[in-house]
Every structure is written in C-alpha cells, then in structure tokens.
Amino acid sequence: MDFDALYRSQCAGCHSRDGRLAAARPLNDPTYLAFVDPTALRRVISEGVPGTSMPAFSQKRGGLLTDAQIDVLVDRLTEATPGVRIALKLPPYSAPLGDATRGAMVYQTFCSKCHGAEGRGGPNGQSIVDPAYLSLVSDQALRTAVVAGRIDLGMPDWRGYVPGRVMSPQEVSDVVAWLASQRPRQPRPSTP
C-alpha cells in the first residue's frame, strides 16, 4: 500500500524511476499530471491500453494489483491537480479526432520546424510518422504528447511550439487526426 514501492516495482521499468529517458512518458511531470483525467488514469492502470505495451494491472484483468493498491496510485498521481488544470487552461484530456486535412496545416505551423516538412524527421526531432511508431501508440498517446510534451526528451508542450501562440483545443484535435490518418491499416499485433 506504499506508493513508492508500488511505483518502483510496477511502473518504473517503463515510465522511469526519476522521470528521465524512459520508454514510456514520465509520470512525474506536473503538466501531464494536471492534464490527465483521473477517471481515465484509473481506467488505464486497471485495464491497460489495448494494442500497446501498457499492461492491465487490475486482478480482474489478470494483473497483480488489488483495487485498493490502484487507489493508492491514482490518489497520489492526481492529488495536486484540479487548481493547476484550471490555471493552465489545459485543453480537454480526451476528445474525438479532428480534421486531418486541417491538421496538415496545423502541423506546418507548430511542428515542422523540429520534425521536418512532412513529419519524417528534421533538425530537432525524429520522425513521428514512422509506421512502426504509429502502430505502437494509441491516438490518446499522440494527443497526450502534443498537449503535455515530453519534458524528458526536449519536446515542448502545447503552449511552447510557437512563441506567443498557444495551440487551441481544435488545433490539437486536428493535428492528432493528421498523425492518426498515417497509421498503417493492417491490424496491430496483440503482443507488441
């Protein structure tokens, strides 16, 4: 029932112990913790993210953790957020995909200077349209990356791509649709 012990034994292997340079996003980033919806956080921990390597932890889903242990994780990860969410004017955590055609223009405005003219990589960022990459991540993970950035990898957040110009919620949804539209169509493997 101790947060640090649970996090270290169950989560740190992928999300990193100290929030740096892990395979999956750091979970100690205050912007991310303000952004994530507590209900979604509980669902993701309990049920995992199907089609990705985020496992289900609930015993009901074959995982190792009791509901009470999941509560410990959720309570701690969401303890500081409500005021911060409002103060930061964060876009909603989840939203339907926007318009991919508009998203291509949003991409040029906010992203191309780092990830290259077509998303295949540029001076300050790697390819984000690589078919293998897009097959391994959910649409929500793409949305989360656009809004919360990757503090550990030098990826800014939705306020910081163009100086003085914050992305609107619609622009976020549109650029995510543009990325998702490039995901290969074949079914994703169940065990990545």
When the beta carbons of 86 and 162 are compared against ligand HEC, the nearer one is 162
Q: What residues contact 65, with CB distance under 8 A and at least 6 apart?
A: 6, 10, 45, 57, 58, 59, 73
Residues in contact with ligand HEC, counted by CB under 6 A, come to a total of 43
Record the tokens describing residue 63, joined without a space: 């995982």
What's the min distance (Å) between Cβ of 173 and ligand HEC? 11
- Give the integer Cα–Cα distance in Å for 91 and 70: 26
Record the tokens describing residue 7, joined without a space: 């996090």
Record the tokens describing residue 74, joined without a space: 């959720």
Q: Alpha carbon 174 to chain centroid distance?
A: 16
Pick the binder of ligand HEC from 36, 56, 147, 177 (CB under 6 A).
36
Q: How many CB atoms lie within 10 A of CB 131?
A: 12
Residue 111 found at the interface with ligand HEC (CB under 6 A): yes
Residue 115 found at the interface with ligand HEC (CB under 6 A): yes
Contact 134, 183 (CB under 8 A): yes
Residue 147 found at the interface with ligand HEC (CB under 6 A): no
Residue 134 found at the interface with ligand HEC (CB under 6 A): no
What's the min distance (Å) between Cβ of 16 and ligand HEC? 10
With CB under 6 A as the contact rule, which of the stretches 24-32, 79-87, 182-190 interacts with ligand HEC? 24-32
Pick the binder of ligand HEC from 49, 84, 95, 105 (CB under 6 A).
49
What's the min distance (Å) between Cβ of 134 and ligand HEC? 9
